[in-house]
Chains A and B, each alone.
Chain A
Amino acid sequence: MLNRALAPEFGQIENIKLIEANPFVLDNGLKTFIINGGEQDLIRIEFVFSNINWDAGSPLQSFATNTLLNDGTSEFSAAQIADRIDFYGAFLQTEYNYDQASVTLYTLNKHLSVTLPIVKAIITDSIFPQVEIDTFILNQKQKLSVNLEKNDFIGRKVFNETLFGNTLYGYDISAKDYDQLNREQLTQYYKSAYQPANCTIILSGKVSDKALNEINSHFGKDWKSADSFKENNFDFTGKPGAEIYIEKPDALQSAIRIGQLAINRNHTDFPGFQVLNTILGGYFGSRLMANIREDKGYTYGIGSAVVSLKNAGYFFIASEVGADVTASAMEEIRKEINILQNNLVSDEELSLVRNYMLGSMLGSLENALSHADKFKNIYFSNLGYDYYDRYIQVVRNITAKDVLELANKYLNWDDFQKVVVGKK
């Protein structure tokens, strides 16, 4: 007779193997990395450019330049670019984050030869037509006005500004910043940022020698670096914790975002901090979810995260909770932090979190594209693959005492910036 109350035996996760990136240098010195694998005859090509020349007087230059890249070159109009890319079933995306702006092409290998020249034109010969800039400004301002009606958007914006001030990480973008964008500024930024010296190419999927040759002939020959540029370097110092309350009288829910500056991936404590974060709010079974959603029913979801940026690291907890239980939810969050600082996590919970994190790591290595994402995490933090060996070692061996010490070192309720948008 089957005993359904008894869990089946289970095994430990032993072999987590990463496909390591193969370095390659194009003829002009452009750094290229290849992560080869997979059955499907497709390729992803990422051109990653660091954000540079930060200027609080033109805070949108990097974002706007990146977004407007596919809106016209001296040879192709925005319509022609879109037609060509779409016709071959390819996907061309521009992506922007705090540290980098990128251009990514996803295509079947059979269409690489016809789509690559378009990408080359975009990266080396964009002209930023005024009419496209005008449309961009108009539409972005509309989007911003909608976002400003969302409590969680406001919470994030205010929180980041509190932590990072007038830097690219914290700048509070408003409609007037869009209004002052101009063509000259974009052209200038484009010239500085989109050059081989500020670019890294990452190829993943089925990467043939033929594909590599084509990439070299498009991007490794006549594309040269000319301008000098200044890397973004920001310094942040923690400030006393504060409560920042933005009242929304009609709110049904309050958006909560609280946290503080912390460490980034380069710090030796980072993997341990990730374990601590997972216990607190990093997965469905976390303490915050167990308490505030699954026991109290205050929210649809609550989570925490540690974020690693080039010039900073930070920790935050975020949720949207019923407006009438905002204060109670805050109090429960405070209690959970307090418990982590004063009570050792049980062996049972710690072993569960270990296994969960290792399984999650294994599951995040699904295909060549995800292996490439793992590579980017370390490469852009100036770390090698031994980072992951160490990460796995820490997850396997961290003790309850270590977790408690980390909680006392990095989580301090009084130092938290506590942003609430909605009702108290």
Chain B
Amino acid sequence: MVSFERFVLPNGLKVLVHEDPTTPMAVVNVLYDVGARDEDPDKTGFAHLFEHLMFGGSVNIPSYDEPLQRVGGENNAFTSNDITNYYITLPSVNLETAFWLESDRMLSLAFSEKSLEVQRSVVCEEFKQRYLNQPYGDVWLKLRPMAYKTHPYQWATIGKVLQHIEEATIEDVKDFFKKHYNPANAILVVGGSVKTEQVKLLAEKWFGSIPGYSKVKRNLPAEPQQTEERRETVHANVPLNALYTVFHMPSRNDEGYYSSDLISDILSRGNSSRLFRNLLKDQKLFSEINAYLTGSLDAGLFVLEGKPLPGISMEVAEAAIWTELEKLKTEYVNPEELTKVKNKIESTMVFSEMNLLDKAMNLAFFELLGDANLLNTETTNYLEVTAEQIRNQAQNIFRKENSSTLYYLAN
């Protein structure tokens, strides 16, 4: 159970406070409701590039990192297809420094040309390091456009191509800031050895005077129902063949998310999972095999990926995966196996409560989903899933005409 208080400033900023007196630290987490899905198709990778620029100085404070480090704090951020999340941990005695820094960059950035120029290079190097100069690194650059034809999930957070990042201008940066970085589009979570009253005063002092704009209404094209199986083959300088199959599945907010997540656990969580046990250990078809969800806010993907062993053809490997999927579609998962995956959900939740930053990030994310308290009812949502729901969900998801399969073959 993660307790919290909530209040909203007149400019629209939502603030959540989680008091945890067991730690001398505080966490300040700011989630902006903007991600790669909000980008222009011709300017992809921008939300993430923008995240880098948020560290390049704000209107009144030339350096973001330095004053924070000076008071014993650390920070980082990440961008996904859905959100951009910034977080600070610091000794709670110095909490106000975090408010000072976060509020100034919400007020306005410095929009420095030098920062843009350097961060364009840094992000291009990140693109190379993570996507282009790694074996299989570019696989999501290929899978996303296979699975999504209309919805902006068709590009990865890093962007479609290096060129989009190289061409970003300071005007683009200003427009993006104006559109997405304002109080009504943000959720602030403060946790640790803090008091709600103290946080209220600090929030009003530092964030209260930031002008409020109405929240941008998101109007993204829905991905039309897929009606035909999609298949592609690529060749690359990798040592092993790899197989990827992705299926469309419900969004994070949909009831069907929970049964889908449990299906991925049945298939691939832990050494007792079906894919690991049957296909890797017993049948010795794969050296690695995994199932997981993208967990996105709009309709997401159920992902299966594996590397067949030498001498195992792609067709045999793929057929073996389908045999496992067919079992889920036709047979009820037995009660013991269902209890097993639910127990794992429960213990994982308890372990995550040991970590202050996890708690703060989770509160922000569930608040975005509609209500931070959903974090506390999340385990129950999983526990209520029945074997029948799992079978039905497997039938909904695991259909050839709902799938995109990529053969990633060694040259």
A residues whose Cβ falls under 8 Å from a Cβ of B: 2, 4-5, 7-11, 13, 15, 38-42, 70, 78-79, 81-83, 85-91, 106-108, 135, 138-139, 142-143, 145-146, 148-151, 250-253, 283-285, 293-300, 320-322, 351-353, 355-356, 358-360, 362-363, 366-367, 369
| Residues 59-108 of B at the A interface (beta carbon under 8 Å) | 59-61, 65-67, 69-75, 89-91, 93-94, 96-97, 99-100, 103-104, 107
Cβ–Cβ contact A366 & B354, under 8 A: yes
5 A-B pairs in the complex with CB atoms less than 8 angstroms apart: A13-B72, A142-B287, A322-B125, A356-B70, A367-B355
**B205: Cβ under 8 A from any A Cβ:** yes
- Are A320 and B129 interface neighbours, CB within 8 A? yes
The complex places the Cα of A145 from the Cα of B242 at a distance, in Å, of 13
In this complex, what residue of B is CB-closest to A14? B93
- Chain A residues near B25 (CB-CB < 8 A): 362-363, 366
Interface of B is mostly: helix
A78 to B271 Cα, complex, angstroms? 9
Task: Tell me whether A366 and B356 are in contact in the complex, defined as CB-CB below 8 angstroms, given that A250-B237, A293-B122 are known contacts.
Answer: yes
Task: Report if A359-B354 is in contact (Cβ < 8 Å); known contacts: A148-B239, A149-B135, A253-B129.
Answer: no
Q: Bound complex: CA of A367 vs CA of B356, how far in Å?
A: 10
Q: Are B284 and A138 in contact (CB under 8 A)?
A: yes
- Judge whether B347 and A108 touch: CB under 8 Å: yes
State whether A78 and B70 are in contact (beta carbons under 8 Å apart), knowing that A149-B135, A150-B134, A359-B90 are contacts in the complex. Answer: no
How far apart are the CA atoms of A2 and B204 in the complex, in Å? 11
Listed stretches B112-120, B143-151, B313-321; interface member: B112-120
Stretch at the interface among B39-47, B175-183, B338-346, B393-401: B338-346
* Cβ-closest chain B residue relative to A42: B350
Q: How far is the CA of A358 from the CA of B129 in the complex (A)?
A: 32
Task: Report Cα–Cα, A15/B91, bound state, in Å.
Answer: 11
> Contact between A299 and B69 (Cβ–Cβ < 8 Å)?
no
B72 engages A360 (CB within 8 Å): yes
Q: Given A87-B340, A87-B343, A356-B69, are A253 and B350 also a contact pair (CB < 8 Å)?
A: no
Shortest C-beta distance, B176 to chain A (Å), equals 20
Closest 8 CB pairs of A and B: A359-B72, A297-B121, A89-B347, A89-B343, A82-B271, A82-B272, A142-B287, A4-B60
Q: Is A87's CB under 8 angstroms from B336's CB?
A: yes
Given A86-B269, A86-B273, A363-B72, 12 more A-B residue pairs with CB atoms under 8 Å apart are: A2-B206, A4-B100, A11-B93, A86-B271, A87-B339, A139-B309, A142-B288, A253-B129, A284-B65, A294-B118, A359-B71, A369-B354
CA distance A375 to B343 in the complex (A): 31
Which residues of A lie under 8 Å from residue B96 when comparing CB positions? 8-10
Residues of B within 8 A of A5 (CB): 60-61
B132 on the A face (CB < 8 A): yes
Q: Are B351 and A11 touching (Cβ within 8 A)?
A: no
A300, B284: Cβ atoms closer than 8 Å: no
A135 to B279, CA, bound (A): 12
Q: A82-B270, A253-B128 are in contact. Are A146 and B135 (CB under 8 A)?
A: yes
Are B69 and A355 in contact, CB atoms less than 8 angstroms apart? Answer: yes
| Also in contact, A297 and B125, with CB within 8 A (given A5-B61, A38-B354, A363-B25) | yes
> Contact at A366–B71, with CB atoms within 8 Å?
no
Closest to A289 in B: B65
Contacts A355-B69, A362-B72, A366-B23 given; indicate if A70 touches B271 (C-beta within 8 A). Answer: yes
Chain A residues near B324 (CB-CB < 8 A): none
> Could you tell me if B72 and A297 are in contact, using CB atoms closer than 8 angstroms?
no
Closest chain A CB from B76 CB (angstroms) = 8
Bound form: Cα–Cα A295–B237 in Å: 33
A139→B118 contact, CB < 8 A: no
Asked whether B271 lies within 8 Å of A320 as measured between CB atoms, the reply is no
Contact: A284 with B135, CB < 8 Å? no
Find out whether the CB atom of B69 lies under 8 angstroms from the CB atom of A297. Answer: no
Interface check B307, CB cutoff 8 A: yes
- Nearest-neighbour CB distance to chain B for A163, whole angstroms, equals 24
- Residues of chain A within 8 A (CB-CB) of B74 are 283-284, 356, 359-360, 363
- Residues of chain A within 8 A (CB-CB) of B200 are none
Structural contact, A7 and B100, CB atoms closer than 8 A: yes
Bound complex: CA A367 to CA B272 (Å): 30
B280 at the interface (CB under 8 A from A): yes
Please, which residues of chain A bring their CB within 8 A of the CB of B61?
Answer: 4-5, 7
* Cβ–Cβ < 8 Å partners of A293 in chain B: 118, 122
Q: Smallest distance from the beta carbon of A279 to chain B beta carbons, Å?
A: 12
Which B292-329 residues have C-beta < 8 A from chain A?
A: 307, 309-310
Least Cβ–Cβ distance between B396 and chain A, in angstroms: 26
User: Chain B residues with Cβ under 8 A from A13's Cβ?
Assistant: 72, 91, 93
Residue of B nearest to A5 (CB): B60
Whether A352 lies near B129 (C-beta < 8 A) is no
| Residue in A closest to B307 when the chains form the complex, CB atoms | A142
Q: How far is the CA of A352 from the CA of B126 in the complex (A)?
A: 28
